[in-house]
Amino acid sequence: MKKFFKTIICVSLISFYFLKVEQLQSLVPYYYFPTIKNLENDSLSIGKNAYELLYFGQFEESLNVAKLAVKINNSNEKLWLILAETQLANKLYRKALNSLNKAEKINPNISEIYFAKSNIYLKIVEFQNAKKALEGGLKIDPNNYKAIFQLGNIYLMEKNYSEAIKLFNKSLEIKPDFWQAINNKGLVYFEKNKINLSIKLFEQASSIQKNAEPLLGLASCLRSKNIKLAIELAKEALNKDPNYVNYDYRKEQLWGEKLQTSTEILLQNDQLQTDVILAKSKINGSS
């Protein structure tokens, strides 16, 4: 009997315990604890949002969102790349380089990391570092014609014209209709006093793309050969992109001193004054 009562009491206690548990479960709120995989997916989604904000020009907001993505998942090189882009947009150049270094440590076989580094080094005028970064990226992606072209531009800035031409030609072997490389060959040959060759190159570039740069370059070449055509081309160029009226802007596009001088003389022509004034007003109006 004593044993029977003990059994009854034990069963009652167990029943009471399970009853209490059920009651507690009905009162205690349910919390969602995300798995590592869920967090990784969330971080990539947040990183995508940061990139979209960057695309729409919301630079500060994109930076904050990219920081959050990396904080959630700091082992994904893509997120570090996105963070670097947002930092670059906010002119945080050294921080962007640091983010790219983090990405490189995670995965050193992504050419875009090195190309992004070169872009930043160019902005902070560290040409040798930019060159090394481009060369590093080209070891991984040797047929990237844009990177080859950019490396040629560094040699152009250094006035190493023979190496610049070699690289522009190499990029054109990969993409024959890459008008920017054809145009920049025209810039080089003008500085080397090979005006007729520059004319052919600017004509070729503008036949592929009616861009203001080869049009104005061609106009400057023709200034002393065919002033009527030169004026027509200059008018068309300034109408397409008024920024080319500005000496400093052309310098940013790597125009050499000889071509700059020829262009300045052309833009002083009486028949171009209305167009020059209009171009300058458009620049001032947009600034």
pLDDT for residue 123 is more than 70: yes
Rounded Cα–Cα distance for residues 117 and 100 (Å): 7
Confidence at residue 23, expressed as pLDDT on a 0 to 100 scale: 44
CA distance 109 to 107: 6
Q: Is the pTM higher than 0.85?
A: no
Q: What is the pLDDT of residues 167-199, one digit of tens each?
A: 999 999 999 999 999 999 999 999 999 999 999
Segment 115-127 shows an average pLDDT of 95
Average pLDDT over all residues of the chain: 89
Token pair for 1: 């009997």
With pLDDT > 90 as the criterion, what percentage of the chain qualifies?
80
- pLDDT, residue 12, reads 37
Q: 7: pLDDT confidence band, cut at 50, 70 and 90?
A: very low
Higher per-residue confidence, 25 vs 228:
228
**What's the rounded Cα separation, in Å, for the pair 214 and 193?**
17
Q: 240-278, pLDDT tens digit by residue?
A: 999 999 999 999 999 999 999 999 999 999 999 999 999
Per-residue pLDDT band at 287 (split at 50, 70, 90): low
Say how far apart CA 53 and CA 71 lie, in whole Å.
18
Q: What is the pLDDT of residue 38?
A: 59
Please work out, in degrees rounded to the nearest 5, the angle formed at the alpha carbon of residue 170 by the alpha carbons of 259 and 249: 30
pLDDT over 50 at 17, yes or no: no
Per-residue pLDDT at 43: 85
Q: Domains of the chain, with CATH numbers?
A: 177-287 (1.25.40.10)
**pLDDT at residue number 21:** 39
pLDDT tens across 90-114, in order? Answer: 999 999 999 999 999 999 999 999 9
pLDDT in tens, 36-45: 555 566 788 8
Q: What is the pLDDT of residue 1?
A: 42
Is 166:151 a contact under the CB 8 Å cutoff?
no
